[in-house]
Structure 1
């Protein structure tokens, strides 16, 4: 029996999760929400996390009915992510590990998403589409690494959606991407946007510039509605993601797709991916906002896998790495 606690704080969510042998015992989190039209600054986000993290830790312990002495390992998000929020949560994890006299483990944020997705959905060896505010990658496992087959060459898909939400002054509560998704359902008119797939990679910055410009001109001239723009943006960027995922599947001879990361909650993205999977006789695996959106349990689950395979992090190595690549981690827990 192994119990691992995980601390997540790489962006605007701070979460603490507790996992015991593949069972999520607790997974509370808090989200830092800014006014419409604004993003979140690293320093303000870090202050939010510092103000919340001990309450969330207490909540997790109570929800799981676990005492500190029951825990075998303390894991935290080492990166990638925003520097100040990462540091603020890593310091808490490091302190807790020393106070409780427990081993410490730095976890790659993306691998947390993948291992959580595999646990919750039961996917065995999927081609993974990892889509969030800070990351966009197509990944498949091979020879003790999660290999990156394609990725964004500029901004992440979630960042593209978030920044467009700011143009339209869409609310950040519960998240800009969720509110764009709801508006897109009411869109009637498709506006053609640049479709930028470069081999196995994608680019979103040009689409964002184009639709920002179109929004100012077309909305003023009443040629379309904000809902039409949301609909058109989603259809275009999701089609790009489905294309590169399908190509990676063909390359790996894969029959499973797993969507992870915050944008993975989007039902329209899941629908489009499902159509492609059905055409290939493949199976789609996706989760809901409890496990797609950044959370502590995913860090605990990846930590559980790593700890059981004999990995720990020494205190002098327990820093954070803002640019921590998925394929830098040796996957010691898979065949």
Structure 2
């Protein structure tokens, strides 16, 4: 039998990625390119979209050549339908619409959040964990139930990645390779813990007030030499991650699950993984996490999730291959979950 192959496009934020994946989760290629701005600056939608337009076609060529496949081998074209930033999302949507008509290949629109989960599951082997999804634009605690990925807790304002990125701008840290990574490295040198607000509201968290507080503290304490930038990064990480561990553990107790899967760009953070691993161990469970190859936005996760849907009869008509900045994780019917897992276990 011919193996099923998908070509996936991810461009919801500052990374444009193109991946080639087979239905069994084999990643044949996964190139990407990141739009990096000067220290102290974030990335704006228009400039990010221009970056994606510049790099998307070379990435398609690289992905096909690395995978050693031709167009006739591709069964479907998958793209990020949302959520994300409007202008960057538009690039992938337009490219896929054009290529679909040129190559006569069907389209599958993919939820970015669900794609992170499915990529994490296939790479780590996690079967049915509680998922902590942490990135620049999202913070959610998720578990699968009755055909959908249900959200049990989330941020009520800004995402944790956005909180870390904005504080990195205050300290004028480099955006290369990412502001969150540079905060993590600086936090390892911190020695003094500074008390910060701790805002957990049931199963939800709030980060905007903590960010405002530490921004004011940074200006005053650094001016008076009361602490170092490393101390501030260390204190911010410890506080935010403790909040995430708390709501994740609460979801585990509610869902009666022992394992945790961390996905999303912030999920690469070794300190967050370490704290979560201790909590899981105390509950007799296991932590599943990946490195920056898969936890950071990439085309392979879109290709794989789209291919799962395509293999179960789901496609996106050309006239509906649009994009949206708001696309909830729990809006997607995971039609592949139960049947696909039964097939895997029987082989």
Q: TM-score, normalised by structure 2?
A: 0.96
Counterpart pick for 1:302 among 282, 305, 308: 305
What is the aligned partner in structure 1 of residue 18 from structure 2? Answer: 16
Counterpart pick for 1:311 among 284, 294, 314: 314
Deviation sequence 1:174-197 (CA, Å, 0-9, x none): 000000000000000000000000
Deviation sequence 1:64-110 (CA, Å, 0-9, x none): 00101110000000000000000011100111111110110000000
- When the two chains are superposed, the root-mean-square deviation of aligned CA atoms in Å is 0.5
Aligned residues: 335
What is the aligned partner in structure 1 of residue 258 from structure 2? Answer: 255
Counterpart pick for 2:183 among 174, 180, 190: 180
Counterpart pick for 1:122 among 96, 118, 125: 125
The 3-state SS of whatever aligns with 1:259 is strand
The answer to whether the aligner puts 1:157 opposite 2:163 as a matched pair is no
Counterpart pick for 2:292 among 289, 294, 299: 289
What is the aligned partner in structure 2 of residue 67 from structure 1? Answer: 70
The answer to whether the aligner puts 1:106 opposite 2:87 as a matched pair is no
Deviation sequence 1:299-334 (CA, Å, 0-9, x none): 001011111111000011110011000000111111
The answer to whether the aligner puts 1:29 opposite 2:39 as a matched pair is no
Looking at structure 1, the residues matched to 336 and 218 of structure 2 have their Cα atoms a distance apart, in angstroms, of 48
The 3-state SS of whatever aligns with 2:337 is coil
The 3-state SS of whatever aligns with 2:95 is helix
Q: CA deviation at 1:278?
A: 0.6
Looking at structure 2, the residues matched to 6 and 334 of structure 1 have their Cα atoms a distance apart, in angstroms, of 20
Looking at structure 2, the residues matched to 200 and 303 of structure 1 have their Cα atoms a distance apart, in angstroms, of 30
Looking at structure 2, the residues matched to 70 and 320 of structure 1 have their Cα atoms a distance apart, in angstroms, of 26
Unaligned runs of 5+ in 1: none
Looking at structure 2, the residues matched to 245 and 110 of structure 1 have their Cα atoms a distance apart, in angstroms, of 17
Deviation sequence 1:14-45 (CA, Å, 0-9, x none): 00000012100000000000000000000000
Q: CA deviation at 1:123?
A: 0.3
What is the aligned partner in structure 2 of residue 4 from structure 1? Answer: 6
Looking at structure 1, the residues matched to 286 and 195 of structure 2 have their Cα atoms a distance apart, in angstroms, of 30
Deviation sequence 1:152-203 (CA, Å, 0-9, x none): 0000000000000000000000000000000000000000000000000000
The 3-state SS of whatever aligns with 1:128 is strand
Larger CA deviation: 265-274 vs 97-106: 97-106
What is the aligned partner in structure 2 of residue 193 from structure 1? Answer: 196
What is the aligned partner in structure 2 of residue 231 from structure 1? Answer: 234
Counterpart pick for 1:56 among 54, 59, 82: 59
The 3-state SS of whatever aligns with 2:19 is strand
